[in-house]
Amino acid sequence: MRNSFNVFICSTFDDLSIEREAVLEAVTRLQLQHDWMEFFGARAQQPLDTCLEEVRASHILIIIVGHPDMRKAIGSKNHAW
């Protein structure tokens, strides 16, 4: 049985692809309905309008945020933070 919550996953694409996959795996494991840009397909609307429409239709919004050099910093021995 699928949960009735609709989850929208939001992040930049290329630099957070590993994190996006991990979140999608967790959401799928919980059997939640989910949307993210990879599932949109072609639409007549502008991309921003499409995203805002999907966010408004969602019950849960997951925003994945990261620093551009985070993976490099974590892999090094000299952390700046």
pLDDT along the chain (81 residues), means of 10: 75 82 88 72 82 88 79 54 46
The Cα 76–Cα 35 span in angstroms is: 34
The pLDDT, as a whole number, for residue 56 is 92
Residue-level pLDDT at 44: 87
The torsion angles phi and psi of 7, rounded to 5 degrees, stand at -110, 130
pLDDT of residue 12: 80
Q: Are 59 and 6 in contact (CB under 8 A)?
A: yes
